[in-house]
Amino acid sequence: MPEQASDTAGGTTVLYIDDDEALGVLLRRNLGRRGFTVLSAFDGPSGLALLASGRIDVVILDHYLLGETGLDILPQIVQQANHPPVVYVTGSGEKSIAVEALKRGADDCVTKNVSSDFFDQLSVALDRAVQAARHRREVAGEHPQHLGRQPG
The reply to whether 82 falls in a domain is yes
The reply to whether 38 falls in a domain is yes
- Please name which of 127, 83, 135, 88 lies closest in space to residue 107, comparing C-alpha atoms: 88
Please give the DSSP secondary-structure letter assigned to residue 149: P
The reply to whether 149 falls in a domain is no
**What is the extent of the structural domain holding 52?**
3-139
The reply to whether 56 falls in a domain is yes
The reply to whether 61 falls in a domain is yes
pLDDT grade, residue 1 (50/70/90)? very low
The reply to whether 150 falls in a domain is no
The reply to whether 148 falls in a domain is no
The reply to whether 135 falls in a domain is yes
Counting the structural domains of the chain, the total is 1
pLDDT grade, residue 101 (50/70/90)? very high
Cβ–Cβ < 8 Å for 101, 78: no
pLDDT grade, residue 145 (50/70/90)? low
Cβ–Cβ < 8 Å for 63, 96: no
Query: pLDDT digits over 102-142, tens only?
Result: 999 999 999 998 788 999 999 999 999 999 888 887 887 76
Q: CA-to-CA distance for 8 and 34, rounded, in angstroms?
A: 9
CATH number at residue 28: 3.40.50.2300
Q: CA-to-CA distance for 96 and 131, rounded, in angstroms?
A: 26
Query: pLDDT digits over 35-80, tens only?
Result: 999 999 999 999 999 999 888 999 999 999 989 999 999 999 999 9
pLDDT recorded at residue 135 = 84
